[in-house]
Amino acid sequence: MKKNGILNSRISGVVSELGHTDQIIICDSGLPIPYGVERIDLALKRGVPSFIETLETVLTEMQVEKAYIARELAVKSPEMHAKLKITLHQAEIITISHEQLKERSNNVKAIIRTGECTPYANVVLQAGVIF
């Protein structure tokens, strides 16, 4: 049994396989997931697991250099926007439209779906390097 870190075998595997500039998405329960992109569905019920809790856990093992968020988040969900900025404090945060974020979902390595029900609680994480 794994001693610490991410216990979900698929998330752990995806993170370990990422190279520089590869991307994954952590999303709310409503983001459409394109056919052919790996879906890691953690959603158990409304709000479980939360978006921030999932993001914090992934960040314990993933080196992130850039994060893309939807500009709609700041307007529709300002509390979540503030939490997200604090959680991603070490990454460059790039704001794009929600439509652009959905377009990016076609080219990511995996999408981790949470039980979050906050509008626009989605983030594209771009892998950095540790050296």
What residues are designated binding site? 28, 98, 120-122
AA identity, residue 40 = I
Per the annotation, binding residues for substrate are 28, 98, 120-122
Distances (CA, A) of 97 to 60, 80, 91, 111, 121: 27, 16, 19, 18, 13
Largest CA distance in the chain: 43
Which of these is catalytic: 5, 20, 48, 107?
20
**Token pair 């890691």 in the structure block, residue:** 40
According to DSSP, the residues that pair with 96 across neighbouring strands are 70
**Residue 89 annotated among the catalytic residues of the structure:** no
Name the token pair of 111.
């999408």
Distances (CA, A) of 35 to 27, 32, 48, 61: 16, 9, 24, 27
What is the per-residue DSSP string for 21-35? T-EEEEE-TT----T
Residues taking part in catalysis: 20
